[in-house]
């Protein structure tokens, strides 16, 4: 039962953080970032926010810097939006490489397909 509650909280955090990043944080370092997944610890003290960033490595690093510096603001904004939760976790922003890896696999499959033809 506890697992389902954590899953719901993670999804709610993902949705709310996406809106906060898009609409409330006005840091020029933050480019086009998408929240892919949020992983919350069972005690709700820590949350890892996995994002993907459109652009090159330099843009990704700048965006992550901006998000990390805005983590306390995002946490405060979450506490206002999700006032029914007793505790809002400390936020840690990390880059999610799964999209990048998926694109690389697609490229390799296309390459194999072309070689077979």
CATH number of the domain residue 106 falls in: 3.30.300.20
Q: Which domain holds residue 37?
A: 2-116
Q: What pLDDT is stored for residue 25 in this prediction?
A: 93
- Number of domains composing the chain: 1
Residues whose CB falls within 8 Å of the CB of residue 13, separated by 6 or more in sequence, listed in order: 38, 40, 47, 49, 78, 82
Can you tell me the distance from the alpha carbon of 65 to that of 45, in angstroms, rounded to the nearest whole number? 22
* pTM of the model as a whole: 0.83
Strand 46-53 vs strand 33-40: parallel, antiparallel, or unpaired? antiparallel
Task: Using pLDDT thresholds of 50, 70 and 90, give the confidence band for residue 2.
Answer: low
Helix ranges, the chain (H): 2-19, 57-69, 71-81, 98-116
Mean pLDDT of 30-58: 92
Per-residue pLDDT tens digits for 79-91:
999 988 888 999 9
């Amino acid at each position: 039962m506890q697992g389902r509650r954590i899953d719901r909280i993670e999804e709610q955090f993902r949705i709310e953080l996406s809106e906060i990043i898009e609409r409330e944080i006005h840091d020029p370092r933050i480019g086009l970032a998408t929240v892919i997944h949020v992983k919350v610890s069972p005690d709700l003290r820590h949350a890892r926010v996995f994002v993907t960033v459109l652009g090159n490595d330099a843009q990704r690093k700048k965006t992550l810097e901006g998000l990390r510096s805005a983590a306390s603001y995002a946490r405060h904004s979450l506490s206002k939006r999700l006032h029914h939760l007793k505790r809002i976790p400390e936020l840690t922003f990390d880059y999610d490489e799964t999209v990048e890896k998926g694109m690389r696999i697609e490229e390799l499959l296309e390459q194999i397909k072309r070689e077979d033809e």
